[in-house]
Structure 1
């Protein structure tokens, strides 16, 4: 079956937004926001409060003029003064009607345009819907304002007040104002949509914020416009500036529309200057009345140098950093800035901007927790937080229902990519902390391939993945020793601090426990096998966790050290292990590495292992696991309470789905 091309679908949507306006003259208008219509003042009239008949899809409605530009000083004398615009609000507006997307940047010369309105050329006195295919000409200055010239087709009187669609940007860039010569194909003039900023400021803000919120929720226009972009480049070269996609543009404006208005035009100008390049200035023709205006004028600037945030994105980051307004709205704006910056490879710059231009005081991370269900230890709950500091911990969503371990880990894998985008993007290395029960410690987290478009992007080679022991996080009585041992590692080279534990002979649980009790500097272990291997190593791991050891490393999936030479180790072993080379390799690989550098170092070892494998070499980074458990980085704790409907064990209620601030 033949499908119409994407541009035809967008033009059809444009026509569905068109209305007929019978005001002081007959013409057109178009829906811009729910219940709001924009037209020309010379069509609708210039008297606020006037009632004007409006027809949409054969049904008549009553529109009320909310604001309009002034009429000419003497009726019947020439064109109405610039900007010749009016905003009408419908009484009992039809539910669910579409709205155009306003694109505040003028298209380049030669850009194909589509105008929509009415014409009675073929049946005088009976207006019929009409579209005109035009192109952007030059500019004409009338009454102190810049008009956009329309060329290439007839612009009849019934098109006045109708929308002008830029086929390049996929947005409405102007409002038809006048024909150059009636009955000819000499084109006419249109008023840029930015001139709406010259009308009543309060009405303008109500209109434009309703417009941006609508398009943040209703995807009809964005889907059609984005298909036009995907179909191929259009003549004229009009684009959204500085690397932001049209979808990102719309989402950021929708979030800005939820924030309070700045106290003055001066505050908007200051926000523009703070985000723009030195020497830049906003458009002289139009005042800055809302956040959208600052954003639009910044998007019109020449793109910044490589490595810098697009100016409009820098403004959105500044606005999020400033706070004020609904906390959820500010947080959502912050998250969206990080997602966009991550896609552009500018996650670190966005983090700096969101921190007010200063380096963050603490290392941000994503913390995922998998814990047992209290009702059935064969089932597990999953929860994820974004950690920016001890005072800024945001849960991603409510804790999951109880799931088998495989499904729980699958859910964790589904949740991570979006959070990585928010925290700076996959190509901006960040810390991933996984709080896990012992049976999940050896899962192949570093090898997870979470980005289908980039099947070689392994989680542990792009991000700094560490594991943490769930058991210690659920036992406050173990925290004092944990904190002491962590502090003993401050300033020490981990390669030198590392000792070996295998759980055999003199390393039985009692002997190991006594060694840890007698020496608080024992804080970094190389396990001679996986904690999930046979009892000797598994038992030694339990003692180490209970004793507060914050750093451990081992080879994923390794069996317990065989040590077939009959030798004995200390409790724990401080010299070369007689049966397993992992200890010696770990000490060599981590020589000179500081405690807080371990996550980055192990990520580097994983990448080195890929190159070594290509040369047929065995490398310690191939299956290395790092348990890195900073006691300062704890997630919010809630007391247990009896299970209630919708909130099993008192930990997964609706409150967990909201943003929280937690101070430890």
Structure 2
């Protein structure tokens, strides 16, 4: 081994511990673990399960190089302690030392900011029982396969002694701990490990631990050998100029750890993508719980992108935090100082001139607002949307649909998240159940605090009376049930016939409407009479077609067809409208209220959220706003066209 490797492994040994029963006498070795932050030990959950399954509050001991202390389980990921085998995604446990961590100074490993599963050579560290005493051991190992989401497979010719389960696996190239030993194979060599990225499954506890990790390393602590992890990290460029090196990363992560955490994963992903000039990172998007996790998206392979990209991401984070009134002066000063060492002066504005996208600007304080806060519907480059495409099954005796769920971040092409794998499609009444899993996962992943992502449902116009705004993931409900989609988020319909490139009539009308600041309702049906095609084509941009009848049967169907053929992208209609030839008195109320709604709209993009407010208020004031319950909205923006029918499936990031 090289001198650098020897020094690195000495640090790994100093941070590795073994777990024992409480008491002053030596008891049997339970397994190994390692310090990830002051007072915090990470180990395999199965190491503790036999001893804590009956009582997770039982105290035990942590012993390592120069340290012995009482500890207790803080949290493990096991969902069912009775299962005979703990799956890789659950085989982690966080242990906390009793008392003040300062009373027991110790080494802590370095954890990478990239959430990837390692392949190739590394070192496996841990303790194994005597006789006559417990010994530390470090052995060569190699990851030659992956299992499920977090599992790592250790090459068969590796001999892992008993007791090392829970110990760290050190990447000798990057100088970081990339995994945790899970088990060895019975009666043969090799074994399994858990990727260190599974630590993110601890959620809020992960945020606490990783912040303590970054703050501790940011102080440049020295072990008894006089080393620290950053100085021994290899495989990266020097810390100067155009390159982003280990010392840069340490200081940046220290400063990020001192900030309030991000509100949600989409905020982190959006800022990382902006820093990358809207170029998506390779592979799937991991869980993003901290600002640190966003820096892990700024790599190509194992190498960091240039320093300007990281500094740009930090500048976006600084703008975001400062816009919400929090102190981030230290981060701003360091960005300026680090930028001065970047030799390409002409590119400094790439960092200095960043500004938050509209979707990430702070919303007005509702307590100080004199009226309802209205969130504009995002156009291109203004934020994400989720779309469900419902394709009719050709030749079916009764209506059936194949579904696709798409995600559009607003910056590039929409990506297919998940598609229907059935043979015969789904009946309309079964669609909600079929979408519960995939659509629910995507909406939860992309919703930001106070700003749920808009939902678009595209289907043939003849099925526009589908009660999309009443959907919920338990059952169909009317709007006096707050669990439905239409009260939580902006829900709009789009015409499936229009997928792909927009025609000129549609694009021109939308452009004209986008510049207007006032709108009026257009009562397109008088009794059963439908205006001619010319009337639709010549209608002024401020006139929004409003129908008191369903769009799925005549005369509403003919009216909707003419509206689509003549470029209309916005319309309102009553999905439960009357079947009689003459309009009842309720129709006059509908048109008057629709006119009142449209008069409050200051721009076209406000309309979906104005309608959402009405839907939200129905549960509180059902009589006053009942007219809006059956109202559906087509909001079909040609600037963000639906993906064409021949588009190949892609994996969408989460």
Query: What TM-score comes out, normalization by structure 1 length?
Result: 0.53
Alpha-carbon distance, 1:213 to partner: 12
Residue 602 of structure 1: aligned partner = 611
Alpha-carbon distance, 1:416 to partner: 1.9
Deviations 1:390-437 (A, max 9, x none): 524221034544413333443234322211122224853321111112
- The SS at the match of 2:389 is strand
Alpha-carbon distance, 1:107 to partner: 1.6
Given the alignment of the two structures, is residue 488 of structure 1 paired with residue 497 of structure 2, yes or no?
no
Distance 1:151 1:499, change over 3 A: closer
Residue 109 of structure 2: aligned partner = 194
RMSD of aligned residue pairs (Cα, Å): 5.7
Deviations 1:602-625 (A, max 9, x none): 111111222111xx4453332221
Residue 245 of structure 2: aligned partner = 267
Residue 539 of structure 1: aligned partner = 558
Aligned residues: 440
Deviations 1:529-584 (A, max 9, x none): 11124x2122211111212211111233122575369xxxxxxxxxxx99532111
Tell me, yes or no, if the aligned pair for 2:273 and 2:280 is still in contact at 8 Å. no
- Distance in 2 between the 1:115 and 1:436 partners? 49
Distance 1:532 1:322, change over 3 A: same
Tell me, yes or no, if the aligned pair for 2:550 and 2:573 is still in contact at 8 Å. yes
Q: Which residue among 371, 374, 385 is the counterpart of 2:406?
A: 385
Distance 1:108 1:536, change over 3 A: closer
Distance 1:149 1:527, change over 3 A: same
Residue 291 of structure 1: aligned partner = none
Structure 1: unaligned runs, 5 residues or longer: 1-47, 50-64, 72-80, 88-97, 118-131, 138-145, 153-164, 175-187, 231-237, 247-259, 278-297, 342-347, 566-576, 640-650
- Distance in 2 between the 1:311 and 1:429 partners? 11
Tell me, yes or no, if the aligned pair for 2:493 and 2:633 is still in contact at 8 Å. yes
> 5 Å matches for 1:318-333?
322=275, 329=282, 331-333=284-286
Distance 1:656 1:515, change over 3 A: same
Q: Which residue among 454, 458, 472 is the counterpart of 1:449?
A: 472
- Distance in 1 between the 2:417 and 2:206 partners? 31
Q: Which residue among 356, 373, 394 is the counterpart of 2:393?
A: 373
Q: Which residue among 167, 172, 175 is the counterpart of 2:73?
A: 167
Alpha-carbon distance, 1:105 to partner: 1.1
Q: Which residue among 356, 362, 365 is the counterpart of 2:382?
A: 362
Alpha-carbon distance, 1:243 to partner: 9.3
Q: Which residue among 573, 576, 591 is the counterpart of 1:557?
A: 576
- The SS at the match of 1:559 is coil
Residue 177 of structure 2: aligned partner = 208
Q: Which residue among 423, 434, 443 is the counterpart of 1:411?
A: 434
- Distance in 1 between the 2:265 and 2:389 partners? 36
Tell me, yes or no, if the aligned pair for 1:366 and 1:432 is still in contact at 8 Å. yes
Alpha-carbon distance, 1:350 to partner: 12
Residue 472 of structure 1: aligned partner = 498
Given the alignment of the two structures, is residue 631 of structure 1 paired with residue 609 of structure 2, yes or no?
no
Given the alignment of the two structures, is residue 516 of structure 1 paired with residue 536 of structure 2, yes or no?
yes
Tell me, yes or no, if the aligned pair for 2:494 and 2:635 is still in contact at 8 Å. yes
Q: Which residue among 68, 87, 101 is the counterpart of 1:150?
A: 68
Query: What TM-score comes out, normalization by structure 2 length?
Result: 0.53
- The SS at the match of 2:174 is helix
Deviations 1:300-348 (A, max 9, x none): x56x44xx52899998876665559x9664541377779x99xxxxxx9
- Distance in 2 between the 1:315 and 1:579 partners? 47
Tell me, yes or no, if the aligned pair for 1:468 and 1:628 is still in contact at 8 Å. yes
- Distance in 1 between the 2:290 and 2:111 partners? 27
Distance 1:462 1:213, change over 3 A: farther
Alpha-carbon distance, 1:596 to partner: 1.0
- Distance in 1 between the 2:8 and 2:510 partners? 72
Given the alignment of the two structures, is residue 502 of structure 1 paired with residue 525 of structure 2, yes or no?
yes
Distance 1:596 1:101, change over 3 A: farther
- The SS at the match of 2:390 is strand
Distance 1:352 1:626, change over 3 A: farther
Larger radius of gyration: 1
Residue 68 of structure 1: aligned partner = 6
Structure 2: unaligned runs, 5 residues or longer: 17-29, 49-57, 77-91, 96-102, 113-122, 124-168, 184-191, 213-233, 295-315, 322-352, 359-380, 476-480
Q: Which residue among 37, 55, 61 is the counterpart of 1:105?
A: 37
Tell me, yes or no, if the aligned pair for 2:404 and 2:419 is still in contact at 8 Å. yes
Alpha-carbon distance, 1:202 to partner: 5.8
Tell me, yes or no, if the aligned pair for 1:337 and 1:350 is still in contact at 8 Å. no
- Distance in 2 between the 1:332 and 1:149 partners? 38
- Distance in 2 between the 1:363 and 1:603 partners? 18
Distance 1:173 1:480, change over 3 A: closer
Tell me, yes or no, if the aligned pair for 1:104 and 1:173 is still in contact at 8 Å. no
